[in-house]
Amino acid sequence: MDATLTIWSKHMLKFWRNREESLGLALQSLLWVVLFGVGMRAMLGELTGGDYMSFVVPGIIALSALSGAVAGGTVLLDERLRGIVKEYLAAPIPRLSILLGNAASTTTKALLQALIILIVGAAMGARLTLNPLGWLGAFVLMVLFSLGFAALALAVAARTSSMMGYHGLIFLLNLPVLFASNALYPLAVLPTWMQVVTLLNPTTYAIDGLRGAAFGADGTIPYWICLLVLLAFTSLSVWLALIAFRKVTR
Amino acid sequence: MSQPTDAIRARGLVKRYGEVTAVDGLDLGVARGVICALLGPNGAGKTTTINILTTLTRPDAGTASVAGFDVVKQANEVRQRIGVTFQDIVLDPDLTGRQVLDVHARLYRIGREERKRRMAELVALVQLEGALDRLVKTYSGGMKRRLELARGLMTSPEVLFLDEPTQGLDPQNRVGIWEYIRDLRARQGLSLLLTTHYMDEAEALADQVGIVDQGRLVAQGTPQSLVAELGADVIRIAGSGDSSHLVAQLGDLPFVDKVSHRPEAGLIQIGVDNGSRRLAEVVTLASGNGYLIEDIAVARPSLGDVFLKYTGRALRDE
């Protein structure tokens, strides 16, 4: 636990120091809500009864968590390529803490970004719930979702030997995962085959649960199912990442 | 020579990477409080050996213990008792020197007060006081090495491993690092294993030298005893012509200890009891065998000559 915390705090330190990264992240969130959200609302306003912002903010949060996970993988890959991971490996710490420290810092950044998106989204007209339990529920989902994809990215980062290879493999994690979900369009309007695809995608459960918990929307899927699916997904990802990591370090 | 209390003890270590056998039955014993240098060319298996001893790599065969603990079965016990600097500089460029040392010590669960105390002491030792709050990416190569040395010592290790500690440094910085390492000798109980392909480095630092070639330890001893085995002096001749008869005849002479021969370079190295007295005899013998001497020198033998004796190659031929 100590080692996880140490690695987490080191990454956060680097994150604050690196102004391009921290400011870039904030600006990215802002632009997504303002440009994408407002633009889509203008087009779809009439179709969705005017509350597209409440609908799309959870999707934008998921998107930022996905790109955050990709960036989190590059942190590990960079430390691997520089040999810094050897410092951890020669230290009396569990191998798992190296992964958890990485995933924790990625998740923290994603949560910070989610906070900005929520604030900007609310300012642009998204109707947030006032129920603190809803907030807690949303928080749990965001942590699980971000942790799960961070671990997947770490699994890839543990195995690839170059930045190029990493980005080639990781491309799958980003936009396709987003498009094959309910982030930008409601489940109900999709053709059946695409509904099946989206229901296999954990992103769908994160977003649907988030809409229900934080925005009081009528969830298509019950919250407890979203929670279970994400729990299973995150455990599986962390397990995969640990296997990938073990293989490389021996 | 090997007791259970040895700092390092390795028996029959083997490590293969696919077709390549990096370490091929290596034995090593280093007593506590001793500085041991593994000397060998690049690719001899020095770094793989260090990786096994520091628990980064599992050996395919053989056993090793460090500070009395098995590197495979008791890896965590070993990790608590060692410090390492790697062959490449392994530092986070976006942290300050202070943060590098602090993060490292926190990984070993060293308390805040203790971290402060050790940092002050070590930073003074490696003379980085003025640069401690600067980002590592602004450091020179020598400063980075000194910071790594301090980092390896932050956890008060019983055994310190330094893999090529002065590689890529200019001569002035190398001598500086040597001084820091010699200072460490004063610390009680610290044992040190370093690898190098610089002869002068091994001679300057080590109480004990192990010569590594093709994944094996081919000789081990104090630099003085290894050199003394060669004889009192070495006569080196370079030339052309048929050298095989000459080498055979030289080997039969009573005052010759050892003849090393590198036909491809036209070099013959003869260990003798007294160089200047035997010079004339060697020259006579050479002309009698139709060997044309182009250059001849008498020298006190060095570790380089020891290396040539055990491996048949000069350290620089890689």
Of B57, B58, B92, the CB nearest to A84: B92
The rounded average pLDDT for each run of 10 residues, N- to C-terminus, in chain B (318 residues) is 72 92 93 91 90 94 94 94 92 93 95 94 89 94 91 92 87 84 77 89 89 91 83 83 83 83 81 82 84 85 80 62
Query: Taking a C-beta distance cutoff of 8 angstroms, is the pair A138, A214 a contact?
Result: yes
Range of the domain at A59: 2-249
Contact flag B95-A10 (C-beta cutoff 8 Å): yes
What's the pLDDT band for A236 if we cut at 50, 70, 90? very high
Picking from A128, A104, A134, A114, the residue whose alpha carbon sits closest to that of residue A209 is: A134
Q: Are strands B82-85 and B159-163 parallel, antiparallel or unpaired?
A: parallel
CB-based contact, B258 to chain A, within 8 Å: no
pLDDT at B170: 83
Residue A45 confidence (pLDDT)? 65
Query: A184: which DSSP letter?
Result: S
How far apart, in whole angstroms, are the C-alpha atoms of residue A20 and residue A12?
14
Show the CA angle centred on residue B51, arms to residues B48 and B56, nearest 5°. 135
pLDDT, position B290: 82
| Comparison of pLDDT for A116 and B189, the residue scoring more | A116
Is A83 close to B86, i.e. CB distance below 8 A?
Answer: yes
CA distance A103 to A108: 9
- Side-chain half-sphere exposure of A171, counting CA atoms within 13 A: 6
A3-22: b (≥16 Cβ within 10 Å) or e: bbebbbbbbbbbbeeeeeeb
Better pLDDT: A206 or A168: A206
In the numeric block, the tokens 């094959």 are attached to A180
* Domain B8-222: assigned CATH number: 3.40.50.300
User: A238 falls in which pLDDT band (50, 70, 90)?
Assistant: very high
- Comparing CB atoms, the residue among B82, B104, B106 nearest residue A87 is B104
Strands B191-196 and B35-39: what pairing?
parallel
- The encoded tokens of residue A210 equal 């988030």
Please tell me the pTM assigned to this model.
Answer: 0.82
For B181-241, strand residue ranges (E) read 191-196, 208-213, 216-221, 233-241
CATH number of this structure's domain B231-300:
3.30.70.100
Taking only the tens place, the pLDDT of each residue in A57-92 is: 888 898 888 888 888 888 899 888 888 999 999 999
Domain parsing of chain B, residue ranges? 8-222, 231-300
Q: What's the rounded Cα separation, in Å, for the pair A226 and B219?
A: 66
CB distance A143 to A225 below 8 Å: no
- Gap between the terminal Cα atoms of chain A: 23
Mean of pLDDT over chain A: 86
Kindly determine whether residue B92 and residue A10, on different chains, have CB atoms separated by under 8 Å: yes
Q: What is the pLDDT of residue A226?
A: 92
The Cα B229–Cα B309 span in angstroms is 10
pLDDT at position A146: 93
B107, A88: Cβ pair inside 8 Å? yes
Instruction: Using CB atoms within 10 Å of the CB of residue B15, give its burial: 0 to 12 exposed, 13 to 18 middle, 19+ buried.
Output: buried
**Within a 13 Å sphere around the CA of A36, how many CA atoms are in the beta-carbon half?**
18
The predicted structure's pLDDT at residue B100: 95
- B103–A10: do the CB atoms touch at under 8 Å? yes
Task: Report yes or no: A10 at the B interface, CB cutoff 8 Å.
Answer: yes
pLDDT, tens digit, for every residue of A180-227? 888 888 888 888 998 898 899 999 999 999 888 888 777 678 889 999
Is A14 in contact with B80 (Cβ distance < 8 A)? no
Of the candidates A13, A17, A86, which has its C-beta nearest B90's C-beta? A86
Distance CA A87, CA A223 (A): 42
B297 to chain A, any CB pair closer than 8 A? The answer is no
A95 inside 8 A of chain B by CB: no
Report pLDDT for B65.
95
**Partner residue opposite B94 with nearest CB, options A3, A17, A91:** A17
Q: Kindly state whether B20 is in contact with chain A, defined as any CB-CB distance less than 8 angstroms.
A: no
Residue partners of B45: CB distance under 8 A and separation at least 6: B15, B22, B23, B24, B26, B212, B214, B215, B216
- Backbone φ and ψ of B30, nearest 5°: -125, 120
Alpha-carbon dihedral B177, B182, B187, B190, rounded to 10 degrees: 80
Decide if B54 touches A, using CB distance below 8 A. Answer: yes
Residues with Cβ within 8 Å of residue A50, at least 6 apart in sequence: none
Q: Which residues pair with B292 in a beta bridge?
A: B240
Whether the pLDDT of residue A175 is over 80: the answer is: no
| Predicted confidence (pLDDT) at residue A55 exceeds the cutoff of 90 | no
Mean pLDDT of A126-142: 87
d(CA B2, CA A115): 62
- Angular region, B171: left φ>0, alpha ψ -120 to 50, beta rest: alpha
A1-26 tens-digit pLDDT:
689 999 999 999 988 888 888 888 88
Q: How many domains does chain A have?
A: 1
Per the structure block, which two tokens stand in for B137? Answer: 């990416």
pLDDT of residue B1: 43
Specify whether the CB–CB gap between B225 and B206 falls below 8 A. Answer: no
Coil, helix or strand at residue B108: coil
